[in-house]
Amino acid sequence: MLENREGQSVPQVVFNTRINNEWVQLSTDDLFKGKTVILFALPGAFTPTCSSTHLPRYNELAQVFKAEGVDDIICLSVNDPFVMEAWAGDQHAENISMLPDGNGDFSRGMGMLVNKSDLGFGERSWRYSMLVRDGVIEKMFIEPDVPGDPFEVSDADTMLKYLAPEAAAPKRITVIGKPGCSHCTRAKAALKDHGLKFEEITVGSHGISLATLHAVSGRGTTPQVFIEGELVGSADELEAWLAKNAL
């Protein structure tokens, strides 16, 4: 049975981490004492759900959490420091503190260390998230204890709804462009001028072709801008949209 530890202190352990290519030992107090911290734990770096959804959304909402008084957002996995560092770089997770629980000591102390030997993973953390204030767990969202890797309640949006129900999440914006495109440069500048962050997809890289662009937008010119999954269109159309919809 997975244990809900709300109202209890986090386990006292020491983490062996790497900072600036040096070994650094961080204690539980270093991470939690006198701070408001969100920690989310997951089964493994580079694994599908963790890489496509769990980590990216916390990274995306980090500034919203910090505006609500959160000092740090920690991603914990039973992986070594080198793997966690490589994963952070691959994910561009600049807003997240990656915490390697290499021996599983913290996960064990949380009652969240589970055996995934059937997958060749050995012992790993169950997926959960928690809000910790000055070392005391205020709220936990633990995935249901069912076979597989459920992902229903430990996501960033559920945590934000608990912490600040009225807080607005930033718009999800995607710009599909190509190198040397002046209109793409203009569209990105317009978004930056409005303080809006965006994902950039470049035609000609990672298998993205003009055929792909046409398939998703129905158009063959760049840029094509999407906001919350809806096609806004070209740089001119984006500027008109921004003028009409102050964000």
Name the active-site residue from 50, 75, 181, 184: 50
> 184 an active-site residue?
no
State the SS3 of 97-142. Answer: EEEECCCCHHHHHCCCEEECHHHCCCEEECCEEEEEECCEEEEEEE
Per the structure block, which two tokens stand in for 10? Answer: 């986090």
- Other residues' Cβ atoms within 10 Å of the Cβ of residue 111: 15
Q: Give CA–CA dist 113/45, Å, rounded.
A: 16
Q: Give CA–CA dist 87/20, Å, rounded.
A: 16
Q: Give CA–CA dist 162/169, Å, rounded.
A: 13
Q: Which residues pair with 15 in a beta bridge?
A: 26
Q: Give CA–CA dist 10/56, Å, rounded.
A: 25
Which residue numbers are catalytic? 50
